[in-house]
Amino acid sequence: MKTMRVDGNVLRAMFENGLENIRCHEEEVNMLNVFPVPDGDTGTNMRLTLEGGLKSTKPAAEANLFLQSLSKGMLYSARGNSGVILSQFFNGLYLELSRCPTVSAAELRNACIRGYRSAYKAVVKPTEGTILTVTRLGIENIRAQIGRRTPVEDMLSMYLAEMKKTLTITPELLDVLKEEGVVDSGAIGYIYIVEGMLKYLYGEKIESSKKIKPASLPEGMSDAPGPMIDLDHFNENSVFVDGYCMEFILQMMKGKDYLKNFRLNKFINDMSDFGNSIVAIQDDMRVKVHIHTKKPAKVIETAQAYGEFITFKLENMQVMHNHRNTLKLKEENRKPMAVVAVVNGEGVKSTFRTLGCDAVIDAGPSMNVPARDFVDEYAGLNAETIVVLPDNKNTILAALQAEKLYAEEIGEDKMPKIVVLEAANIAEGYFAKAMENPNETDVEKRIAQMKSGIEGVSCLAMTRATKAFSNEHVNLSEGDGFVTLDDEVILGCPASDFENEWANTLIRGIVEIPDIADKEICVIFRGEGTTDDDEYILTDKIAEQFPLMDVAVFNGGQSLYSWIIGIA
């Protein structure tokens, strides 16, 4: 059944859902912010404004009482141009509904109209193509379609659709949006709020788990007490054109030291000599002011003539602008693909780095990598697709587990595509990376090339038994050497003979590879404890037995396996 009237409790739940929705899209809105100054904080400001307003409300079943406390709270929590406009909008909305304990669609329509008018009034020079246009046309274009029988859901759906439609034309109205190829950030922020409110009515509670945690906010975008800014974004060589963003609440004072007869229009007029993007709202003996200015002293002087500051904020917008450009650059430099290899051994690590892997994780002797390590590596790579080259089957699982963890941490929308290749050892990883063509621009093709490298690789490994072991091929005592072929123990080498026989045992292992006659390449990773002489002994024997084999040896330094040999 559709909702014909909403009360204070429902409205609160709707606003809370709206708040969650903008929270989910906060960074996206920040990145769209190019007007009036590209300081990249619209999403954060709108969220904080609404959040602050909601925090100050008390439970009230009456819509008008709830809205009264909300709008009052928002006036004080309003941050930034968009936040102030938003607070003014809801102030107008409240004024229209100040006698309504419950609200119908038609009443809400009238309130939205009063809301946008109030928002227009708050801005000294209203600019079309912004949140103002969207809130105005969004309701004006549908006002005739809403009547006494319209459910609230329908009214909000139409409102939302109309605002989205208007949003698409904002670049036509405002050149800076067109140049940057974006829509107005304040407008889209407002749309997210309304969308969240409507979703509540449809029973869709927006999950707080999707909240962007402060830790994942980019540096300089954290929310309290003010942006944490990397000060390196502004130095003696910076060009200062954006000015300061100034916000304060002025308490007008009685007494002979202060001017009487504060008139908002005159005050705004005076302010407009010092800057732009001026928003000033009077609430009895307090006035909340937002201005972008290069002359903060003049603004302070003029304001202080009437009273004293209750709150005050001054931000160098150039710093945020420069910071945003850096972020944008980072976005542009995002690699289409990065490769993470899991290996063990210093030499193996450097081999994989030389091969062009973007990150190399050392699995250590246990050959187990906690999912956390993967998540850390994923986070450090600025890539759309991340390809993982595991070195054993356990690693494949850990890498897949890490994918889920990482998605929870940063959210599905920011999640790079993770491709875990089924490399079961470093030899397969080596051939995978070697077969990739760095000239290839198509990521899917590069992945296919890597996969082709894994196919048909046989991997031999030699180590010593730490306890007795037997299977159909061997009967090992502790300390015996043995050789595995693709993880299966196929040959033993008794401890007593090991000194003389280890190399022959490996050669016999190579001979056991089913299609050895078709193989042409032999890649050897020398483990911990092997010597140059050992290497010559082995490579001489391979050259003797397989004269056409292309042999390469890397001093891998891996623990556990003295030799890992990939044959392809």
For residue 435, the minimal CB distance to another protein (Å) is 5
Q: Check residue 568 for interaction with another protein (CB under 8 A).
A: yes
Contacts by residues 489-493 (CB-CB < 8 Å, ≥ 24 positions apart): 492/465
Token pair recorded at residue 282: 């009077």
Q: Does 438 bind another protein (CB under 8 A)?
A: yes
Among 283, 384, 478, 550, binds another protein (CB under 8 A): 550
Residues 6+ away with beta carbon under 8 Å from 89: 115, 116, 118, 119, 135, 190
When the beta carbons of 225 and 514 are compared against another protein, the nearer one is: 514
- How is residue 484 written in tokens? 């595995």
CB 206 within 8 A of CB 196: yes
Q: Residue 235, interface with another protein (CB under 8 A)?
A: no
- Write the CA distances from 47 to 185, 260, 277, 301, integer angstroms: 12, 36, 20, 31
Omega cis (within 30) before 225: yes
Contact call for residue 444 and another protein (CB under 8 A): no
User: Of 40-48, 447-455, 474-482, 501-509, which segment contacts another protein by CB under 8 A?
Assistant: 447-455
Give 358's Cβ-side CA count (13 Å radius). Answer: 20
Neighbours of 406 (CB within 10 A): 22
* CB nearer another protein, residue 72 or residue 349: 349
Contact 396, 321 (CB under 8 A): no
Per-residue binding letters, 383-422, with another protein (x by CB under 8 A): ----------------------------------------
Return the residue matching tokens 């993007």: 277
CB of 334 to another protein, least distance (A): 17
Q: Does 160 bind another protein (CB under 8 A)?
A: no
Among 220, 429, 453, 557, binds another protein (CB under 8 A): 453
Residue among 17 and 385 whose Cβ is closer to another protein: 385
Give the C-alpha separation, 296 to 446, whole Å.
55
Q: How far is the CB of 429 from another protein (least distance, A)?
A: 13
Is residue 539 involved in binding another protein (CB under 8 A)? Answer: no
Task: Name which position in 409, 552, 559, 560 contacts another protein (CB under 8 A).
Answer: 552
- Residues 336-375, mask of contacts with another protein (x by CB under 8 A): ------------------xxx-------------------
551 in contact with another protein (CB under 8 A) = yes
Long-range contacts of 204-210 (CB under 8 A, 24+ apart): 204/17, 205/17, 206/17, 206/20, 206/21, 206/24, 207/20, 208/20, 209/408, 210/20, 210/23, 210/24, 210/411
Cα 93 to Cα 65, 99, 109, 284: the distances in Å are 12, 12, 9, 18
Residue 431 lies near another protein (rule: CB under 8 A): yes
Q: At 466, is the secondary structure helix, strand, or coil? A: coil
* Element holding 249 (H helix, E strand): strand 244-252
Q: Of residues 246-265, which lie at the interface with another protein (CB under 8 A)?
A: none
> Can residue 427 be called a binding residue for another protein (CB under 8 A)?
no
Interface with another protein: number of residues (CB under 8 A): 24
Least distance CB 513 / another protein (angstroms): 14
Rule CB under 8 A: say whether 6 interacts with another protein: no
Using DSSP's 3-state secondary structure scheme, residue 70 falls into: helix
| Structure token digits, residue 515 | 């299609």
Closest CB 395 distance from another protein, rounded Å: 23
Is residue 437 near another protein by the rule CB under 8 A?
Answer: yes
CB of 456 to another protein, least distance (A): 8
What amino acid is encoded at 162 in this protein?
Answer: E
User: Closest CB to another protein among 1 and 517?
Assistant: 517
Cα 546 from Cα 311, distance rounded (Å): 82
Give me the 493-532 binding string for another protein, x by CB under 8 A, dash otherwise. Answer: -------------------------xxxxxx---------
CB of 437 to another protein, least distance (A): 6
Question: What whole-number distance in Å separates Cα of residue 177 and Cα of residue 129?
Answer: 8
Minimum CB separation from another protein for residue 520, in Å? 4
> Distance between CA atoms of 503 and 534, rounded to whole angstroms?
8
Task: Give the tokens for residue 276.
Answer: 């732009």
Q: Give CA–CA dist 522/4, Å, rounded.
A: 76
Choose between 375 and 523: whose C-beta lies nearer to another protein.
523
Which residues contact another protein (rule: CB under 8 A)? 354-356, 431, 434-439, 445, 449, 452-453, 518-523, 550-552, 568
